[in-house]
Copies of this chain bind each other. A is one copy, B any other.
Amino acid sequence: MTTIPLPGSPVRGSRSGAPVMALLDLLGRRWAMGVLWTLCEGGPATFRVLQERCETISPAVLNSRLKELREAKLVERTAQGYAATKLGEQLYGHLEPLGAWAKIWGKSVKSSTTARKK
């Protein structure tokens, strides 16, 4: 079993346990941000629906991420299924601008990477 990164306890990448390091560890796991993003964008969803929305996530990973996000108080179970908590929405508020920024980034990258292989 994996340890769930929580602020205060030492995490991968930092012996200090600085909150931001715990956060980066938590979010730096495959699908962590994607799941939160999807939940916030599309609203509460059951496990199965969430899985479909994420298109390619496997149930095992979805389950792991949900456990972690719930323990981190970013996601909770409601009558409607899984949903972002207030804290989760707050975090999403910080992440959401990345959507717009990514488009700008996309242009910069593409203009310098036209016709690349592999």
Contact = CB atoms under 8 A, between A and B. Distances in A.
Interface of A: 1, 3, 6-8, 12-15, 18-24, 27-34, 37, 54-57, 71-73, 87, 90-91, 94, 97-99, 101-103, 105-106, 108-110, 112-113, 118
Contacts of A14: 55-56
A37 B56 CA distance: 29
Tallying the copies of this chain within the complex gives 2
A28 B38 CA distance: 15
Contacts of A20: 37, 98-99, 102-103
Contact of A8 (B8, B54, B110): B110
B13 A109 contact: no
